[in-house]
Chains A and B, each alone.
Chain A
Amino acid sequence: QKEVEQNSGPLSVPEGAIASLNCTYSDRGSQSFFWYRQYSGKSPELIMFIYSNGDKEDGRFTAQLNKASQYVSLLIRDSQPSDSATYLCAALPEGTSYGKLTFGQGTILTVHP
């Protein structure tokens, strides 16, 4: 079974710190990876997608992909209390059509003032 694993947390960081969220996946052939932010009672909001090894930066967010080690991470710089949410990692398994994502359980992030 193709799986995506995340530490459920909660991960607590002080305001202004770097929050590091990690995700591993079992299907070595997975091609695309996504990070979503989900506030309580809301639907997932796409933050980043990444498909190449290395780093991808967008504002305060950096996604890192290491296909050899089968992990994906999300760094949030200068964390703000408004970043407090559940962060979902998702992968598109090899041979799977676009749209059919496998999600991790999510990591709860709390940023305290």
Chain B
Amino acid sequence: SAVISQKPSRDICQRGTSLTIQCQVDSQVTMMFWYRQQPGQSLTLIATANQGSEATYESGFVIDKFPISRPNLTFSTLTVSNMSPEDSSIYLCSVYSDRGPSYEQYFGPGTRLTVT
């Protein structure tokens, strides 16, 4: 299985500021995914980060609010911009490994963000 690390593990930020979250994987992967888990809720996909191309965003998420970088095959960043208390969530980086007719998907330890 892939080993995923994220920085920071948690942060408390003031509204109107931005935070950049880093994700590092121990092997090269084509795609990396960013999910959000709001308090008491399940996981929602924010965007897919492909190396060498623009990230693709899911409905309800926009690049201006969540800009993503993917400079190489093991690293990605997600920025949460102009934060409001509604952005308080756990942000999770995810990758998958092919397993023949299916695959396994793994999540990083998460970044717990609190916006005050």
Contact = CB atoms under 8 A, between A and B. Distances in A.
Q: Is the interface of B mostly helix, strand, loop or mixed?
A: strand
B53 interface: no
Most buried by A among B31, B42, B44: B42
A32 interface: yes
Nearest to A31: B102
B43 A103 contact: yes
A98 B109 contact: no
Contacts of A50: 102
Most buried by B among A36, A44, A97: A44
Given A34-B105, A46-B106, A49-B102, A97 B42 contact: no
The 4 closest A-B pairs by CB, nearest first: A51-B102, A103-B42, A43-B110, A103-B43
Most buried by A among B33, B58, B95: B33
Interface string B38-61: 000111110010000000001000
Contact of B104 (A46, A100, A105): A46
B76 interface: no
Interface of B: 1, 31, 33, 41-45, 48, 58, 90, 92, 94-96, 98-99, 101-110, 112
Contact of B45 (A31, A101, A104): A101
Contact of A51 (B31, B94, B101): B101
Given A49-B99, A88-B42, A100-B33, 13 more contacts: A34-B105, A41-B112, A42-B110, A43-B109, A44-B107, A51-B102, A98-B96, A98-B105, A99-B94, A100-B45, A101-B43, A105-B42, A106-B42
